[in-house]
Chains A and B, each alone.
Chain A
Amino acid sequence: KAGVTQTPRYLIKTRGQQVTLSCSPISGHRSVSWYQQTPGQGLQFLFEYFSETQRNKGNFPGRFSGRQFSNSRSEMNVSTLELGDSALYLCASSLGTSETQYFGPGTRLLVL
């Protein structure tokens, strides 16, 4: 089985721009979660989608949004980028609640 894939792997943007990151879960997985990882804050939960519905959202501003498509692929969007948004964005898929989460390799975003 192919693992979780994320595109792009690296991204450089400037302040004020917006960015869209993509995540393709493991086949058959309907739950997709997004995390932001930084050296200072560690792994922070962004949101989780299950069958195209956002089930939970972390404590991030409204500039962070996401969606999930009928094939379980997910995208997250960050608008009006700030320097502090520089981070590794990880996507994880699972069969459902309280199941093993399998992480993708992440997208490293640098905001200049």
Chain B
Amino acid sequence: QQPVQSPQAVILREGEDAVINCSSSKALYSVHWYRQKHGEAPVFLMILLKGGEQKGHEKISASFNEKKQQSSLYLTASQLSYSGTYFCGTEISGGSNYKLTFGKGTLLTVNP
């Protein structure tokens, strides 16, 4: 079941904040966030696991509401380099095999 991302696109000025949401109809075990720039491969941003553990290596925050099966990615004080398409990938809870299902993406454009 493909997760639903919102908004589909957002345009910001440098320094503004943005929130990208990811919702699933299934109980989730983990949510992965990636950013992809045009012509490049997706780059890892963050993993949120059921139970609250969070892994990431960039100064970007995210939340995972297990009850609502939703995750939100928070981009604060946006920089030009934040531009790109953001994908959430979800792993279903209780699944015996590893399978990541991605949303259609949110196109973020940061202008000077």
Contact surface of A with B, Cβ cutoff 8 Å: 31, 33, 35, 42-45, 48, 50, 55-56, 58, 90, 96-106
Closest to B56 in A: A100
Question: Chain A residues near B99 (CB, 8 Å)?
Answer: 45, 48, 56, 58
Contacts of A55 in B (CB 8 A): 97-98
Query: How distant is the Cα of A13 from the Cα of B50 in the complex, in angstroms?
Result: 43
Question: Which B residues lie within 8 Å of A97 (CB)?
Answer: 98
25 residue pairs from A and B, CB less than 8 Å apart: A31-B98, A33-B98, A33-B100, A42-B105, A43-B105, A45-B101, A45-B102, A48-B97, A50-B98, A56-B98, A56-B99, A58-B99, A90-B41, A96-B98, A97-B98, A98-B49, A98-B98, A100-B32, A100-B44, A100-B47, A100-B55, A101-B44, A101-B89, A101-B100, A103-B34
Residues of chain B at interface, number, CB under 8 A: 24
What number of A-B contacts does a CB cutoff of 8 Å give? 57
In this complex, what residue of B is CB-closest to A97? B98
